[in-house]
Structure 1
């Protein structure tokens, strides 16, 4: 049986509000209640989708194949796009890779990668007076496998067109450095958007968000 929200609120207040020994603080009372209510209203799947759609890039972690740091985590900056032809969010994370860079050889040796997206990528945390490491500066860690897209597939050209619309410089990358279009096959999503630790979001819930 789930505990009643009012009981949960009472427990939170009892733990976080100073005791009468130190004096009652109406301001602290109001703050805790406000934060509790905000936490109840958070849609973690939608927050993950919004972070992806607003970002032009993500930090991508892979298991390194470079002989100097083989087996260590490697992090790379990767330009991404999740838009359809009308610039609406699809949640499908598309990106270009090349085998001349770190990530290309890494995923082909061990296809496990994680993207990190943060509200600080668009400076929303700084503008709101929040440090990037604070839990209220929302972030999402999206793990999965790299899927190299087939140019003959019907989804390929629309995805590439949308990507180049957001990243025009990429047209030169494809010609000169043999970049290829990829999509992340999502296996797990963690969202940290408030105090209390990360929330697990299923790929199905993530894709089901309507914008």
Structure 2
């Protein structure tokens, strides 16, 4: 049985409204209706794309190969970029890795990684008076596999140039520490941007967002 939006709002208000003995609260009703409308209008795929484009780095999780914590989750800070030559969002998450760091050896043994992007990385939540753990402080957890890019491919140089333009220090890393350019082959996206738990976003919906 399907309910219209107006009936759903009425049901929600009935469940959360104070008992009659405490009186009716128009302010509380207005707040709940506003939050309900906001939730219905959220575009979770677009929120994920915006987070990826606005943040300069991601918390990068892998399965550790380090003998002291082998098999444990390992988290690293990895600079990322998804821009084209004009600095527009492509959604393609690119990053540089080295085998001298944690993440390089990890993905080559077990190629399963997850990247976390949060609005707090740009201090948007703090500036808005929100704690970074609140659901309304939007975050995206994007899982997939590392794909090492081939320098001989036609698309390599534009991607490399865009990355270095956003992260100028990377040009020195690559020369000195044998960094290599990679891209995330996305398998799943979770977006938490409101109360009620995470939303699943497909890679196809994520890439289909207009930049």
Judge same fold: TM > 0.5, yes or no.
Answer: yes
TM-score by length of 1: 0.98
Q: What SS does the corresponding residue of 2:20 show, helix, strand or coil?
A: coil
Partner of 2:112: 112
1:138-170 residue CA offsets vs partner (Å, 9 max, x unmatched): 000000000000001111111000000000000
What is the rounded CA distance, in whole Å, between the counterparts of 2:67 and 2:23 in structure 1? 61
1:54-79 residue CA offsets vs partner (Å, 9 max, x unmatched): 00000000000101111110000000
Correspondences of 1:54-133 after superposition (within 5 Å): 54-133=54-133
Partner of 1:33: 33
Q: What SS does the corresponding residue of 2:53 show, helix, strand or coil?
A: helix
Q: What SS does the corresponding residue of 2:21 show, helix, strand or coil?
A: coil
**Large movers: runs of 4+ above 4 Å:** none
How many aligned positions are there?
Answer: 211
Q: CA RMSD in A?
A: 0.8
Partner of 1:4: 4
Partner of 1:16: 16
What is the rounded CA distance, in whole Å, between the counterparts of 1:22 and 1:69 in structure 2? 55
Partner of 1:151: 151
Structure 1 residues without counterparts, runs of 5 or longer: none
What is the rounded CA distance, in whole Å, between the counterparts of 1:16 and 1:96 in structure 2? 49
Structure 2 residues without counterparts, runs of 5 or longer: none
Q: What SS does the corresponding residue of 2:67 show, helix, strand or coil?
A: coil
